[in-house]
């Protein structure tokens, strides 16, 4: 089946050179429902508002493009944890779901017609006000012993930090799909710009299942072969149902996408799971 017919999309927007005037920004925001505009306005910094605007425009554009729903009839809701979903199912793809991420110069969205999908973009940054060692030590409890050993073996501090970020792009100050679900501990400890590859993998997973800040990142352990053939262990058990892809967009940005291979249609049949898809952590299913 061709992508255009399947409901599978991977869109990425570089917003570096888009500097809208206030009038241009307001004109673009006017395309969205009032509740989306008010959510965007809550961001204090101009760049954050711009990312949030593009993220929401991508969501509505994708739904219009894939499901052929008129723009003004699209109703995107969010769970308490911030996971976006369509209020009404579409007969064409009743299990259609999508995930967005934005940081630094990029805003992205990924969609799937059957499988759970997660996405995370991270902007590479150095710790502020502390050494790399201090920064990573403050977060070491979120890595397993195996992951920690991989991080330490990376060598020089910059490589150690990159390795750490690879595992953990997963918890920033926990903006899930640009909804401000904020964890004050992380805001105090970590620059908002992100945590590279390890951190990225964990965030993409948590976003895919629609979990909130209470999900224990130490429950997740990633294995890989030079960052290919990435696999996940959940609570010490390997899961063959997930696929992970980690890409370098440029020298300053990484992106991770993950997908639960078990189709959501099977979850629907087994659990009577209606349109509130993607909340696997709340279901008695084996991830």
| Residue 185 in this model has a pLDDT that exceeds 60 | no
Report the SS3 class of residue 264. Answer: helix
pLDDT value for 170: 43
pLDDT value for 23: 97
Q: How many Å apart are CA 4 and CA 111, to the nearest integer?
A: 12
| Residue 189 in this model has a pLDDT that exceeds 50 | no
Q: How confident is the model at residue 172 (pLDDT cuts 50, 70, 90)?
A: very low
Supply the pTM of this predicted model.
0.78
Q: Write down the architecture of domain 7-113 according to CATH.
A: Alpha-Beta Complex (3.90)
DSSP conformation letters of 92-158: SSTT-EEEEEEETTEEEEEEESSS-EEEEEEE----SSS-HHHHHHHHGGGS-HHHHHHHHTT-SHH
CA 94: distance to chain centroid?
Answer: 22
Residue carrying structure tokens 């100050």: 173
Q: How many Å apart are CA 80 and CA 49, to the nearest integer?
A: 21
Q: What mean pLDDT is predicted for residues 22-46? A: 96
- The pLDDT tens digits for 221-277 are 999 888 889 999 999 999 999 999 998 898 888 899 999 986 555 554 333 333 344
| Cα 77 to Cα 33, 84, 194, 217, distances in angstroms | 11, 6, 26, 26
pLDDT value for 135: 66
pLDDT value for 195: 39
pLDDT value for 286: 57
**Count of Cβ atoms closer than 10 Å to residue 281 Cβ:** 15
Residues 6+ apart with CB under 8 A from 140: 148
> Please, what's the largest Cα pairwise distance for the chain?
53
Alpha helices in the chain (DSSP H): 3-6, 22-29, 34-41, 46-67, 132-139, 145-152, 157-167, 184-189, 197-209, 264-271
Question: How is the beta sheet containing 9-14 ordered, strand by strand?
Answer: 9-14, 106-112, 97-103
- Pick the more confident residue, 273 or 68: 68
Tell me what the pLDDT averaged over the chain comes to.
77
Domain limits, CATH 3.90.470.20, in the chain = 7-113, 120-264
Say if residue 16 is exposed, middle or buried (CB neighbours under 10 Å; 0-12, 13-18, 19+).
Answer: exposed
Structural class in CATH, domain 120-264 = alpha beta
| Residue 173 in this model has a pLDDT that exceeds 50 | no
């Amino acid at each position: 089946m061709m992508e255009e017919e399947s409901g599978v999309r991977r869109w990425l927007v570089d917003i570096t050179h888009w500097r809208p005037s206030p009038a241009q920004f307001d004109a673009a925001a006017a395309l969205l429902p009032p509740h989306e505009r008010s959510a965007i306005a809550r961001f204090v910094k101009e760049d954050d508002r711009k990312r949030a605007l593009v993220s929401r425009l991508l969501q509505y554009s994708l739904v219009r493009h894939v499901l052929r729903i008129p723009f003004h009839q699209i109703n995107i809701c969010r769970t308490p944890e911030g996971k976006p979903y369509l209020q009404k199912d579409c007969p064409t793809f009743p299990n259609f779901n999508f995930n967005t991420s934005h940081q630094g110069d990029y805003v992205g969205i990924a969609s799937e017609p059957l499988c759970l999908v997660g996405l995370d973009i991270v902007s590479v940054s150095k710790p502020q006000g502390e050494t790399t060692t201090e920064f990573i030590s403050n977060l070491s409890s979120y890595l397993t012993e195996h992951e920690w050993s991989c991080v330490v073996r990376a060598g020089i501090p910059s490589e150690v930090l990159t390795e750490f970020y690879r595992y953990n792009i997963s918890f920033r100050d926990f903006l899930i799909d640009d909804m401000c679900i904020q964890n004050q501990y992380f805001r105090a400890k970590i620059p908002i710009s992100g945590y590279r590859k390890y951190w990225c993998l964990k965030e993409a997973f948590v976003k895919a299942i629609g979990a909130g800040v209470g999900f224990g990142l130490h429950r997740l352990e990633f294995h890989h072969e030079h960052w290919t053939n990435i696999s996940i262990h959940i609570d010490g058990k390997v899961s063959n149902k997930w696929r992970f892809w980690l890409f370098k967009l440029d020298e300053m940005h990484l992106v991770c996408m993950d997908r639960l291979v078990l189709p959501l249609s099977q979850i629907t049949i087994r659990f009577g799971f209606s349109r509130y898809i993607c909340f696997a952590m709340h279901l008695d299913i084996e991830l």
